[in-house]
């Protein structure tokens, strides 16, 4: 797999799945535009250790103007975005009647609308250069529902829908658009849910086991590296005619 000369923009890539995907892309030779908050220096150092060039852009992807500045920075630094991975995401757990309206708005903006904005800005350059890959990190919650996750489930189903539309609009070109639908991956986002469960009796191990046992038949977490390998496949020649698909990598969750 040789992605030398290609530039990848991965939103929310300072930790978790986004960082795992960025590392795989950097190992394959791509230039990286990282985005997200937290330990930016550690993320940049990990990418540069793979030998790749990387910059970080601090755009808050809930703001279309900041997204436009990030895409412009990618064009200025590396000449454009060839691989766009829409990965940034947050969530909130509450029954629909008590779901805070501002959390609904933030989740829809970060998990769904951001992908619309990045895509419409990155696509013209991909069309001009005649090649592109758009990969949307949805979730198994983009395929099935889950109580208490109204905004997250709605945003992820929306992202799978947006994926199909973009795939159809680029179907006769060498640009593809696909979604990835992971089950549980042990990242800060999921650790937060384990910690909330463990607050009752302090038993983190049991909270972890229960979380998996309820939904994920493999009883094991998916890893960011496995998701990164799937992204590399979608970027490869073998992935050329994979269009508008929603790939679950979920330890069997959606098969139930």
- Is residue 185 a contact residue for ligand NAD (CB under 6 A)? yes
Q: Does 12 interact with ligand NAD (rule: CB under 6 A)?
A: yes
CB-CB neighbours of 133 under 10 Å: 25
Binding mask 205-244 for ligand NAD (x = CB under 6 A): ----------------------------------------
Element (H, E) at 73: helix 64-78
Which CB sits closer to ligand NAD, 40 or 131?
40
Nearest to 148 by CA among 88, 214, 204: 214
Min. distance of Cβ 252 from ligand NAD in angstroms? 14
As a whole number of angstroms, the distance between CA 35 and CA 10 comes to: 7
The two tokens of residue 24 are 């795989």
Indicate whether 18 belongs to the interface with ligand NAD (CB under 6 A): yes
Shortest approach of ligand NAD to residue 83 CB, angstroms? Answer: 16
Residue among 36 and 52 whose Cβ is closer to ligand NAD: 36
Task: Report angle CA 232, 233, 235 to the nearest 5 degrees.
Answer: 65
Pattern 73-112, binding to ligand NAD, x per CB under 6 A?
--------------xxxx-------------------xx-
CB of 34 to ligand NAD, least distance (A): 9
HEC sequence for 118-159: HHHHHHHHHHHHCCEEEEEECCHHHCCCCCCEHHHHHHHHHH
Residue 22 tokens read as: 């960025």
Nearer to ligand NAD, 17 or 30 (CB): 17
Please report how close the Cβ of residue 238 comes to ligand NAD at its closest, in angstroms: 24
Q: Do the beta carbons of residue 221 and residue 17 sit within 8 Å?
A: no
108 is written with which tokens?
């829809």
Interface pick for ligand NAD out of 68, 93, 189, 254 (rule CB under 6 A): 189
Taking CB under 6 A as the rule, does residue 38 contact ligand NAD? yes
Phi first, then psi, for residue 13 (nearest 5°) are -110, 25
Stretch that binds ligand NAD, among 92-100, 126-134, 178-186, 205-213 (CB under 6 A): 178-186
Three-state secondary-structure class, residue 222: strand
C-alpha to C-alpha distance for 44 and 244, rounded to whole angstroms: 31
Shortest reach from residue 174's CB to ligand NAD, in Å: 26
Given the rule CB under 6 A, which residues bind ligand NAD? 11-18, 35-38, 60-62, 87-90, 110-111, 137, 139, 182, 184-185, 187-190
């Amino acid at each position: 797999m040789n992605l030398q000369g290609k530039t990848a923009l991965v939103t929310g890539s300072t930790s978790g799945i986004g960082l795992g995907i960025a590392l795989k892309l950097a190992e394959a030779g791509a230039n990286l535009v990282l985005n997200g908050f937290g330990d930016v220096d550690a993320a940049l150092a990990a990418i540069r250790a793979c030998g790749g060039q990387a910059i970080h852009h601090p755009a808050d992807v809930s703001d279309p103007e900041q997204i436009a500045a990030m895409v412009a920075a990618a064009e200025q630094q590396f000449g454009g975005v060839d691989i766009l991975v829409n990965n940034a995401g947050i969530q909130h757990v509450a029954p629909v009647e008590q779901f805070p309206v501002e959390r609904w708005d933030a989740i829809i903006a970060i998990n769904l609308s951001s992908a619309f904005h990045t895509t419409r800005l990155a696509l013209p350059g991909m069309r001009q250069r005649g090649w592109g890959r758009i990969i949307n990190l949805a979730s198994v919650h983009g395929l099935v529902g889950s109580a208490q996750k109204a905004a997250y489930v709605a945003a992820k189903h929306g992202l799978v829908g947006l994926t199909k539309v973009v795939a159809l609009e680029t179907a006769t070109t060498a640009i593809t658009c696909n979604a990835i639908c992971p089950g549980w991956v042990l990242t800060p986002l999921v650790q937060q849910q384990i910690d909330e469960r463990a607050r009752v009796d302090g038993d983190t191990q049991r909270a972890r086991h229960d979380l998996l046992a309820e939904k994920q038949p493999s009883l094991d977490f998916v890893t960011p590296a496995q998701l990164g390998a799937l992204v590399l496949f979608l970027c490869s020649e073998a992935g050329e005619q994979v269009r508008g698909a929603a790939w679950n990598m979920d330890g069997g969750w959606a098969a139930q």
